[in-house]
Structure 1
Amino acid sequence: MNTRRILAGAVVALAAAGGGVLANHWLTRDSDAAYAAQPDTHQGAVQQLWAAPVTSVDGKPQSLSLLKGRPIVVNFWASWCGPCVEEMPELSQIQRDYANKGIQFVGLGVDSEKNIRTFLQKVKVAYPIYVTGFGGADLARTFGNNAGGLPFTVVIDAKGNIRSTKLGQIDPAALRHTLDTL
């Protein structure tokens, strides 16, 4: 009887481990190529980005269309998203490293104005942060983020072409490689 319980426990453990491996593979299967040049299949998304209603953390309406003609890195994030918060120092460093090349990073907070303002009082970020509210998730979907997950990063070249997208935390080396090709 104990042998059956041990075997049953082993089968459950193996099934759980296998499920974890499959889930990890599914979630990260494109991570190595995530920043490779991709065909621009979501061109309308860039136009929607320029027209998106965003505000500063002080509640003042802003226009992302002012960034047209520049290479930009758009990072969709939220203050309650652990991986988003974890990658912000690295994004800030990369922004500082590439600012002299004219590359602008922008954070789009898929969160409330109050939460973002409170967060930014504690954490310093080297790039502008705008509030999209939960409508930012819909905007991220136009770029191909069908899962609606965060963080989600999009690299757009100066001509308005989507050069890469990445669901999940950035791979700093891969992002730098993409930025070097702009």
Structure 2
Amino acid sequence: MRKLLAVLVLFSLAACGTTAKATPAAPATGVLSFTGTTLDGKQFDAATLAGKPALLWFWAPWCATCAGQASSVQEIQQEYAGKLGVLGVAGLGSNAEMHEFVSDLEIPDVRTLDDQAGAVWRKFGITQQSTYVLVDAAGKVVTSSYLDSVDLPAKVKTLVG
């Protein structure tokens, strides 16, 4: 035990005198630097959303509020196709439940990640379902919160311009 403690102390002291090299700032698209797997098991790279505004919708398959938002997200996807990247990020449920949610609520146009492990949720600091993250064309998060059916379309319209 003493040897282990001595080794840890030596490593700590050795690190004290070093200066960390400055790392370059992440590019503006750094917010969209993540990958995931779609509900159908295909790989997805969020960098494909870079360069235009994006809407990330964090939802859970058992969430009644999320179910109520589904048609709004589908409409936004259709209205702003090509001008806005829309990505659903499903968590807190199984893949089968996520598929059922998408099918029952008829949102086939909304590309959705299966984030059962919560990696994307953690990246964005999401602590509860029914959260929207809006990212501007420069890759900056401009909104991260719950938005109702009036606020969401208004914020998207402002974001897309």
What's the TM-score once normalised by structure 2's chain length?
0.70
- After TM superposition, give the deviation of residue 118 of structure 1 in Å: 2.7
The equivalent residue for 2:157 is 180
Structure 1 residue 140 corresponds to structure 2 residue 124: yes
Q: TM-score, normalised by structure 1?
A: 0.63
Q: Which of 128, 137, 143 is the equivalent residue of 1:158?
A: 137
More helix by share: 1
1:86 aligned onto 2:68: yes
Q: 1:48: how far off?
A: 5.3
SS at 1:58's partner residue? coil
Name the counterpart of 1:107. 88
Residue type of the partner of 1:138?
A: R
Residue type of the alignment partner of 2:122: D
Q: Using the alignment, how far apart are the partners of 1:107 and 1:128 within structure 2?
A: 6
Return the offset for 1:87: 0.8
Given that residues 58 and 88 in structure 2 are in contact (C-alpha distance below 8 angstroms), is that contact kept between their aligned partners in structure 1? Answer: yes
Question: Of 144, 148, 155, which aligns to 1:171?
Answer: 148
Aligned counterparts of 2:150 and 2:77: Cα–Cα separation in 1: 13
Specify the SS of the correspondent of 2:81.
helix
Q: Say if 1:104 and 1:127, in contact at 8 Å, map to a contact too.
A: no
Q: Alpha carbons of 1:69 and 1:114: their partners in 2 closer, same or farther (altered >3 Å)?
A: same
Letter in 2 for 1:88: A
Tell me the number of residue pairs that the alignment of Structure 1 and Structure 2 aligns: 131
Equivalent residue runs for 1:1-182 within 5 Å = 47=30, 49-51=32-34, 53-99=35-81, 102-110=83-91, 111-125=93-107, 126-135=109-118, 136-141=120-125, 145=126, 148-167=127-146, 170-182=147-159
1:107 Cα shift?
A: 0.3
Q: Percent identity?
A: 23
* Structure 1, unpaired ranges of 5+: 1-42
Q: Deviation per CA, 1:123-149: give whole Å up to 9, x if none.
A: 2113211111141432331xxx4xx11
Deviation at 1:154, TM superposition (A): 0.6
SS of the aligned residue for 2:138 comes to coil
CA RMSD of aligned residues (A): 2.4
